[in-house]
A and B are shown apart, each in its own frame.
Chain A
């Protein structure tokens, strides 16, 4: 069923996919203050990879991902879990958010924190889950 893309899709995908991936990271990082966050960013990233998948097929997409989607899920859950523990070191109950803001040159501030680590975990899990299903389905279609 997987019909290779037309020339338009082909060209567009090459430009849109990296931009959309970048946008997903932007959404992930701004999520705490503006609309966005790990879940949405994960879905946007999956959308980007889905476009790539439809254009170039499963094998190429796997190559681009470099990581097996199953490992992405594992990494996501791992990040989610380790964000629990820093609070324990400070003698606070599990999951209490810890903040380590790092001032950036130019007046900005990088809000490094356990919620951010947790959000990255959510991002990777969502991304991995969707990609796992999409790639598996596409591969069976191609066979």
Chain B
């Protein structure tokens, strides 16, 4: 199974090459991959239907309990079949839909990667692997939704989808970690098989909230539903794929997967049924307001997702049966309907149902497929949608839900019938009406029709043979969600009972709503002000808040003053470490030391050097004093027999001096640019740091918190790593990963320094004030606030200081004097060097 996922990613990697070979047939070639995988997964149907579970183990990072193990049970199988099966037709459809598009190759790459991520997600057994695939689907779907990246609307929709789902993903990660720490394992199978009662665990509520946030954002539950209709900015194949079988079902998959462990509590039921029912109604209600075919379908997807959540919340055996049946029915008809809407858009030139009509004669196959799929959407026999709807109503009647939920579900059922009627009837019947001429409209190529025909046909076949579909496909899935065997069967005819009556009522009322749709839509516009203030405005306010926060923190924390950074870092360090120190341990003095004479000498040299560095008024003096400090430290290392450390210290010290000598002349001349109060403040900061470090050293002398790790290193350095130099063994063997990180940091730092040295005036500070204006409009900066060079900053500081200290002439003269002298020296140097060369 690992191979199945890898094959798809491999196909994605090879796509550019295949596309280069033949631009027209690339999609057809690529469709072979998911088609074969569908067959492969289908070959497991009998075994899974018998109640077996297929486990393929593979250890990835055993040390962290992360594995690449994949598990195929009823639920995974249902999803895998949908992902690969519908995926096959989507790839074919995309090849025809985007034929001749210059970026078709890129599109196919992303589409295949998305397919692979989604397949990995439903097969993963390990929570971390699952999360990785979860995030991969978010990222690839971002690229898919934003495929038309020249359009601002598509970019916005893609970013919105990404922020909502990835934000939820963050919560999900926390939830998964909580889940693992509560159950003691990252493996789903192990969690299922263990005896821990997670529902009674103290972390249960927190865990559930985090997991639900992740699932709800991904599956577009109210109040996060807004991103899904906006994602319709994507090309139609993407909408058809993401919103029928994959992306948005990922959240549902997660909930279904965890239902046996986390479900069944009052909290679970309450949250899922109420959010599910409300989402359901919101979706149906918003759908009825739309006239865009894709928006209509998108909101009805929101409705379907609400229904699935609701069923999971009810949690009875019947609800589980209904869940799998509804999931399958929805994927089949919604995939077909999206593709058909794309065909109408492609051929007739519009998706607005008010601009279309009478296309039946020009697009007969499309019209028939739409009719079949829409009948399934409305839940009319003998389509599979009817079977699913009956089960939904039945489990609602049996289940422990309140009247409000029931009313919401009935209202949605009525509205969805109307939506189905709008989609199936409006564009195809009545007088001819379309933006394009009748002569230009003709049936699309086979690649685009294949998907809708097969999916609509499957809806019909599944409806006619429900027991067969039930036995082999939906029941194993229901059992996986339920966590045990289930009794029952799927049937088209349940006898004359309450659900059938309700179905008939909803269909009748739905047709009435359809009849007066135009009037209703107009009257619903009264509610527009409320809808504008819906959850989406919350999203925009949130985004504005982020920008405001970024601006604030840039102004106050990242303002470019290095001294300011240093002070912030040091104070935070002192505060946090000092707090921990005082709270956890007592302050500890140990003066019981008797240093040898040479040690005292080394220390006093060190202290003198440090003091000189603080007090000196010359840069060179400061550099030399710091050198003294460094070499004294190297000497102390030698005294305590650490030759490697002291060699490194000496070398670093030497190179530092060389570097400083090189930059010394580039610095502005030495001057006091801080006031006395600022200096006192800095001194206090410095003294606090010193005090803290002293206290820390005093404590570490006496208190041993953990067994020192050096013993292990000393013992094992020679036998395990064949080296006697422990420092080096630690660097290149025991802790090689750290060293690798460090050399990357070093390389980056060197590149940074290089960039700063080599910068040219057009990229100098001040010349590019509009960097980072991708999100915000360019800001008007007053000319006086723009700083063009270091010299200017220095000049400004001097001017300010003159005002502050109120001693104008005295300060300025020596400064100029020094500078002039430097200039003279430089002037003298240059001719000399030229001569010598």
Interface residues of chain A, those whose CB is within 8 Å of chain B, are: 1-4, 31-40, 43-44, 46-47, 50, 54, 57, 70, 73, 76-77, 80-81, 83-84, 93, 95, 97, 99, 111, 113, 115, 118-119, 121-122, 125-126, 128-130, 132-134, 136-138, 140-142
Contacts and interface: CB of A to CB of B under 8 A. Distances in A.
B753 A1 contact: no
25 contacts: A1-B665, A32-B722, A33-B724, A33-B725, A38-B731, A43-B648, A47-B654, A50-B658, A76-B747, A77-B747, A83-B736, A93-B63, A97-B721, A115-B721, A115-B736, A119-B731, A125-B746, A125-B747, A126-B746, A132-B750, A133-B750, A133-B757, A134-B662, A140-B666, A140-B758
Interface in B621-669: 643-644, 647-648, 651-652, 654-655, 658-659, 662-663, 665-666
B662 A99 contact: no
Interface stretch (B242-250, B335-343, B432-440, B828-836): B828-836
B829 A3 contact: yes
Interface stretch (B460-468, B587-595, B737-745, B769-777): B737-745
B757 A137 contact: yes
Contacts of B787: none
Given A97-B721, A130-B655, A137 B648 contact: no
B837 interface: yes
B747 A43 contact: no
B727 interface: yes
Top-10 shortest CB links A-B: A129-B750, A43-B651, A32-B723, A37-B728, A115-B732, A137-B662, A35-B643, A125-B743, A33-B724, A136-B757
Contact of A119 (B652, B654, B724, B732): B732
Main secondary structure of the interface of B (DSSP, over half): helix
Given A37-B644, A47-B651, A132-B750, A122 B725 contact: no
A122 B739 contact: yes
B153 interface: no
A140 B728 CA distance: 36
B731 A37 contact: yes
Contact of B754 (A35, A37, A132): A132
B729 interface: yes
B334 to A, nearest CB: 43
A133 B833 contact: no
Given A32-B721, A32-B723, A70-B754, 5 more contacts: A32-B728, A43-B655, A125-B746, A130-B655, A137-B659
B727 A80 contact: no
B536 interface: no
Interface of B: 61-63, 643-644, 647-648, 651-652, 654-655, 658-659, 662-663, 665-666, 721-725, 727-729, 731-733, 736-737, 739-740, 743-744, 746-747, 749-751, 753-754, 757-758, 826, 829, 832-833, 836-837
B747 A73 contact: yes
Contacts of B648: 39-40, 43
A35 B665 contact: no
Nearest to B735: A95
A4 B836 CA distance: 7
A130 B751 CA distance: 10
A57 B758 CA distance: 18
Contact of A141 (B647, B655, B662, B731): B662
A82 B62 CA distance: 22
Nearest to A130: B655
Contact of B837 (A4, A80, A81, A119): A4
A40 B728 CA distance: 10
Contacts of B829: 1, 3
Nearest to A133: B753
Contacts of A81: 740
A122 B732 contact: yes
Contacts of A39: 648, 731
Given A3-B833, A134-B658, A33 B651 contact: no
A29 to B, nearest CB: 11
Nearest to B718: A33
A7 B332 CA distance: 87
A96 to B, nearest CB: 9
B641 to A, nearest CB: 11
